[in-house]
Structure 1
């Protein structure tokens, strides 16, 4: 039987008041990810600043558009977060010219172009329009390995399943370490994206309500 998390955690729907904590957490969660290493040129000086800028602009636009975010908190500290792009609203961030301009100014034209190409390839892999997409998802590295990821995903599945029109959730990763983990949580691999030398794996978790409707 899996061990319980070392400290009890609370799931909370977040608002813009958590922006600073969300940015810090996601920076630490993504700075060593291979996909973002390629997108924001880890082999060139200033990489950490570019990752910080990417996270800052995505979180800022996400809350500006009042999109949902689920947080996992231990003793009132944010240790995990999932930014959620609901069906029909998920393209708004990358289509914003203001967001694109801020990205170009803070990460450079080439990195912004890489990120937009990556997002376009991801959108092409979606199994349909009626899915929730997770632009960013992470557990702070200090709290990984204690089953908090399972708790956050479980809450995320329940939250998205309340939308009876949603077919499920799509997420992606270029980190081979996470492939078996997502499969254990009920995700099915539905595609791959070439992000430079990185193979980005696209996963889908079906909405159990929709599955029951189909089976009925």
Structure 2
């Protein structure tokens, strides 16, 4: 693996870099391709608008985000919704109106139905939810995803009120990745032709670094 990146807690001063990273990380994700109609002109604009609105609402609600920095470049990002602050973004009328104006009625309706179905799979109790998590495609398959997830688990392990972490994906290449890191498949939903998996990790323990010889 290349030199480890630096983990940094991000604020909204990183929103521009975060928008670019998540756009590249999600534009080829099968679930988003269905929700935002990749076959129709304007798909890239709809993805950019959706990422922008999700990030803007996340930071406006003062929710945490962990960034993976290589020098001053943001190469990985995890948005976190803690159990004490878990506000349903889709309940914000301002967010809904901005989505209608940018992504359109049909795509916004698809996203709302998808979000509701995912929420319906979540186990009872208090836990962290990851609305968006990704590594820039240029830096994937270099174990940066492992570093980001370990940092995320360490961050969540320090919260005594949380019983675990929830994430969902419809990308087949990530299923083994999450399972390898201790996630259990707790639900599946059908998003058009895509099977979306909802994963749960019981409260992770802080990773213990091995002492160097």
TM-score by length of 2: 0.94
Q: How far apart are 1:8 and its partner, in Å? A: 2.5
Q: Distance in 2 between matches of 1:191 and 1:92?
A: 19
Tell me, yes or no, if the aligned pair for 2:67 and 2:74 is still in contact at 8 Å.
yes
1:52 Cα deviation from its structure 2 partner: 0.3
- Cross-structure match for 2:78: 82
1:133 aligns with 2:129: yes
- In structure 2, the partner of 1:186 is 182
Match of 1:100 among 83, 96, 101: 96
Is contact 2:37-2:43 (8 Å) kept? yes
Question: Pairwise mapping of residues 43-192 of structure 1 onto structure 2 (< 5 A)?
Answer: 43-192=39-188
1:18 corresponds in structure 2 to 14
For residues 124 and 88 of structure 1, the distance between their equivalents in structure 2, rounded to whole angstroms, comes to 19
Partner Cα separation in structure 2 for residue 73 and residue 180 of structure 1? 25
Report deviation, 1:128: 1.6
Deviation at 1:178, TM superposition (A): 0.7
Instruction: Please list every run of 5 or more consecutive structure 2 residues that lacks an aligned counterpart in the other structure.
Output: 206-213
Give per-residue Cα distances to partners, 1:56-108, cap 9 Å, x unaligned: 00001100110000000001210000000111533332110000000000000
Backbone CA RMSD of aligned residues: 1.0
Give me the whole-angstrom Cα distance separating, in 2, the residues matched to 1:162 and 1:52: 33
> Is the CA contact 2:83–2:161 (under 8 Å) kept in the aligned structure 1?
no
Residue 15 of structure 1: how far off its partner (Å): 0.2
Structure 1 moving runs of 4+ over 2 Å? 88-92
SS at match of 1:128: coil
3-state SS in 2 of match to 1:119:
helix
1:88–1:129 Cα contact (<8 Å) kept: no
Report the alpha carbon displacement of residue 129 of structure 1 after superposing the two structures with TM. Answer: 3.5
Q: In 1, distance between residues paired with 2:201 and 2:88? A: 23
Q: TM-score, normalization: structure 1?
A: 0.93
Aligned length: 205
Q: Is the 8 A contact 2:182 2:201 kept in 1?
A: yes
